[in-house]
Amino acid sequence: MLRPVAVIGAGPFGLSSAAHLRARGIPVRVFGEPMVSWRAHMPAGMLLKSTPAATSIDAPQPGHTLADYCDAAGTPRLVEDDDIIPIETFIAYGQWFQQQLVPDLERVRVVSVDRRGGAGSASGSASGGFELKLSSGELFTARAVVVATGLSGLAHLPPELAGAARDGPSPAGPVSHTSQHSDLGRFSGKDLMVVGAGQSALETAVLAAEAGARVRVITRGHGSVGFGAPPWEQPRFRPGSPFGRAWSLWALSYYPHAYRYLPAQLRHYLVRHVLGPLGAWWLRDRFEGRAEVVEVERIVRAEAPDRRPVLTVRTADGATRRLDADHVIAGTGYRVDVAAMDFLSPELRTELAVSRGTPRLGAGFRSSVPGLYFTGLPAAASYGPVMRFVCGTEFASPRLARHLAASGR
């Protein structure tokens, strides 16, 4: 019997990849907790920044869009650009998608992935396969592996905050990361500092303030807190894209093919800055007047005497200030780093061709290791910022499945 393809991850990218592989008749085993990044690592009450048109998980057959889910669930259809999607709706949609198209998902963790036969057994062809160990204790062989582990393990804490988080970021310690909070109600009545100016930082600040926290947002540079334009103020004579009307967004959304031929420096720059730190248009009214903004040139250091965080910051006029609070939340995003993907054997991680810690991918989302594929966030440095978002599944999943189908013949 043909050995299966293993898909590691049951978020939007893993589920979509699995659905496409299955539709091509490729045997597949899929591992992970369905939609866990959304259930456990984002705040309850969050609203999605993406519009309904940009928030469907790509499926090989019709009938599985966000609007289809709304119809099936008997809830109002979310289709217009100014329909805002509650996180709870998106989680339910993802779980429905999983039950429909990936019903035999295995809710276990992949503990390790190695070349079949271990280090040094590389045959140089995709047929050598991989040995996977699961948290259930099972060992099995896959002919190929798709890594769709998304945000897991990639939360980024800048070094200047590390001094106040010596044991690592933690909601119970002086400093945590936005990914560690699903209930911001715990900060009611507390003084909170949120570091960052992206949607995640700003929405965390708003939800904590609405729950009764006194919130300051610490951002770098003058005028660094900004919000996008609402749909009715988008420029009319520019092409539309899932992210708004602009030539650049249109090219990045519909032509990710060419992205990997751009110079490495430009690719990494665009991934971090296109659709970068900016609040959603609908967050502005809720933000203003609720959270104080402290603009700094940089955070010099963070300490936690008596477990209470103190940030030393340099301001634009060269002065130094000390800011303290009951807790600091770093809204400082995620950084892809193959070295942090500890389920991949050290040999595989060493062998992978990387660019600034991200796997270098070729056609069909394959890595430099035959049979090993990456999709979602780890693919963004190769296929562009669209891979950071759910709508990236539309480009990624059919191509990845096609490549795997061809390589299995």
Ligand X SMILES: Cc1cc2nc3c(=O)[nH]c(=O)nc-3n(C[C@H](O)[C@H](O)[C@H](O)COP(=O)(O)OP(=O)(O)OC[C@H]3O[C@@H](n4cnc5c(N)ncnc54)[C@H](O)[C@@H]3O)c2cc1C
Burial class (CB in 10 A: 0-12, 13-18, 19+), 65: buried
Q: How many CA atoms lie within 13 A of 134 on its CB side?
A: 18
Checking phi first, is residue 379 left (phi over 0); if not, alpha (psi -120 to 50) or beta?
alpha
CA gap 331, 71 in Å, rounded: 35
Q: Is 335 in the site for ligand X (CB under 6 A)?
A: no
Query: Which residues in the 138-197 window bind ligand X by CB under 6 A?
Result: 148-152
**From candidates 389, 395, 398, 399, binder to ligand X by CB under 6 A:** 389
Residues in a beta bridge with 176: 329
- The one-letter code for the residue type at 164 is A
Report the 10 Å Cβ neighbour count for 217. Answer: 27
Nearest distance from residue 168's CB to ligand X, in Å?
A: 18
The residues in 283-312 that bind ligand X, with binding defined as CB under 6 A, are: none
48 binds ligand X (CB under 6 A): yes
**Of 62, 49, 146, 149, which Cα lies nearest the Cα of 90?**
49
CB 345 within 8 A of CB 115: yes
337 binds ligand X (CB under 6 A): no
Lookup: tokens for 363: 């056609």
Does residue number 37 form part of the binding site for ligand X (CB under 6 A)? yes
Query: Per rule CB under 6 A, is residue 51 in the interface with ligand X?
Result: no
Is the torsion defined by CA of 69, 75, 79, 82 positive or negative?
A: negative
Among residues 20, 22, 26, 32, which is the contact residue for ligand X, using CB under 6 A?
A: 32
Least separation, in Å, of the C-beta of 51 and ligand X? 9
Q: Given the complex with ligand X, which of 26 and 336 has the nearer CB atom?
A: 336
**Per CB under 6 A, 200 contacts ligand X:** yes
In terms of CB distance, is 313 or 387 closer to ligand X?
387
Sole window of 9-17, 253-261, 305-313, 314-322 interacting with ligand X (rule: CB under 6 A) = 9-17
Which of residues 5, 6, 7, 14 is near ligand X by CB under 6 A?
14
- The residue with tokens 């295995």 is 106
User: Does 279 interact with ligand X (rule: CB under 6 A)?
Assistant: no
- Which positions touch ligand X (CB under 6 A)? 8-14, 31-33, 36-37, 42, 48-50, 55, 109-110, 148-152, 200, 343, 376-377, 388-390
